[in-house]
Amino acid sequence: MDYRRILQVSLESLLSHKLRSFLTMLGIIIGVAAVVGMLSIGEGAKQEALEQISILGINNIIVNAKIPEEAYKSEEGIQISQGLSIADGTNILEFSNLVANVVPQRFEPFPRISVGANEAPVRVVATTPSFVYSSSIEVENGRFINESDNETFAQVCVLGAKAKRALFAFENPINRMVRIGDLDFTVVGVMADKYIGRGKVEGLELRNFNEDVYIPFNTAVKKFERGNAGGESVSGGGNWISYSVDVGDKYNVPEIDQLTVTVADLKYVPAVTRLIERILQRRHGGINDYDIVVPESLLRQSQKTQQIFNIVMGAIAGLSLLVGGIGIMNIMLATVLERTREIGVRRAVGATREDILKQFLIEAVMICMIGCVIGLAIGLVISRAISFYAGWATIVSVTSIVLAVGVSTTVGIVFGLYPAAKAAKLDVIEALRYE
């Protein structure tokens, strides 16, 4: 008996009992749909984490200024630590064999900028020209801040993509004026749009960089005031750090809000992180008025978390396939009993034990493969539905499809082998006598 004939006979057998065949493959359908759906969530989350961490820079170490602990909100704390400063960055940059770049950033207290009647919610970032070398965000139109802008205290700015759309829509903003605080700034560039996703990775909130507006660091230092926390109140830092305090609170408002340290080589990241910790601890006298964020460590943690998630979800989906396989074995055993006389007739007219084995084994595999195709379709629908309604990134990879097909085929072979072998071993005479 050739394989074409075996396939035809197997398909006819399945079609003759459509409902039973569908119920048999239901476990496979659910299992495959679960595998594809769960893995698509995992792959999407992995890709999103990679993209979000790449925005921070895998070779970067980020030092954020923060309000010190309660114990240091005193005159003593003010005398010990001046807060995060340019001098901190200068000290770190002295280790030029390990550190490629250090970028200071100040977040100015202007939550909105305007052009005439149009306003846009923004974060005004005062930084240096080297910012573009430590960031994955690129200039799409015009240019970024240069050394001349910084040295001459020029009132120029570079708009984030979202800020540009809110203020100028489809118009070209280059050389147009925007209002920041009480000053007018000339737009010299527009940054490329950057996908931020859910804006959170491993507990770290990510700011929408498309809302950032960049101005020269020296311009901000000269023309924008920064208060001290010993007064009535101080506000600033946009959404990253806020200096709004009670009258009794006393500490130094930091000179800068963030330092981005770019490490010369990825392998030096752990060593440079420890180096930065020691430098800041010494310079700040042990005052905990800064946080160190290491994107490379966040990536490793994210990958570890994702691996655990995939294992758990894979185990749950695997149980569905196991149940489906047991169901297939039960139905196939019942089918062998039901078709005992047919098996005897086939053997009597020349079919070998091997032919019978192949026929029943192919039937089991066919049930799994049809169930797999239906399950894949449902899994794709589930993936799209999750992406649409929950707002999660989902990616159906070739690996998940290959895995689903491979597991389904294996289930068909493993759980179909025993019923097929039982059918092949039936005695011809006894099978013909069976009623």
Question: Per-residue pLDDT tens for 286-340?
Answer: 888 888 988 877 777 777 777 787 777 777 777 777 888 888 888 888 888 877 8
Query: Treating both helix axes as pointing N-terminal to C-terminal, what angle do 353-385 and 3-16 enclose, rounded to 10 degrees?
Result: 60
Among 429, 297, 403, 415, smallest CA distance to 367 is for 415
Higher pLDDT, 393 or 196: 393
The span from the CA of 165 to the CA of 171, in Å, is 9
Phi then psi dihedrals of residue 233, to 5 deg: -160, 150
pLDDT at position 255: 86
Lowest mean pLDDT among 172-181, 224-233, 287-296, 306-315: 224-233
Q: List the structure tokens of 138.
A: 């690129």
Average pLDDT over residues 58-82: 71
Average pLDDT over residues 213-238: 67
Average pLDDT over residues 401-424: 84
Average pLDDT over residues 139-150: 93
Q: With cut-offs at 50, 70 and 90, classify the pLDDT of residue 231.
A: very low
Is residue 72 scored above 60 in pLDDT?
A: no
Among 27, 34, 45, 35, smallest CA distance to 403 is for 35
Higher pLDDT, 27 or 141: 141
The span from the CA of 219 to the CA of 147, in Å, is 12
Mean pLDDT of the chain: 81
**Amino acid found at 312:** V
pLDDT at position 196: 66
pLDDT at position 220: 92
The span from the CA of 343 to the CA of 339, in Å, is 6
The domain limits of the chain are: 3-52+301-433, 59-294
Q: With cut-offs at 50, 70 and 90, classify the pLDDT of residue 147.
A: very high
Question: β-pairing, 60-65 with 139-142?
Answer: unpaired
pLDDT tens for 29-46 read 888 888 888 888 878 877
Is residue 227 scored above 80 in pLDDT?
A: no
Using DSSP's 3-state secondary structure scheme, residue 58 falls into coil
Average pLDDT over residues 247-270: 80
Phi then psi dihedrals of residue 399, to 5 deg: -60, -45
pTM: 0.67
Average pLDDT over residues 220-240: 55
**Helix, strand, coil % over all residues of the chain, rounded to 5:** 55, 15, 30
Is residue 356 scored above 80 in pLDDT?
A: yes
pLDDT at position 249: 56
Is residue 184 scored above 60 in pLDDT?
A: yes
pLDDT at position 104: 93
Percent residues over pLDDT 90 in the chain:
24
The span from the first CA to the last CA of the chain, in angstroms, equals 26
Using DSSP's 3-state secondary structure scheme, residue 141 falls into strand
| 14, 246, 418, 433 from 413: Cα distances, Å | 17, 72, 9, 30
Q: Residue 65: enclosing H or E segment and its boundaries?
A: strand 60-65
The span from the CA of 355 to the CA of 7, in Å, is 12
pLDDT at position 145: 94
Is residue 245 scored above 80 in pLDDT?
A: no
> What is the DSSP secondary structure assignment for residue 248, as one 8-state letter?
T
Among 23, 61, 36, smallest CA distance to 263 is for 61
Is residue 69 scored above 70 in pLDDT?
A: no
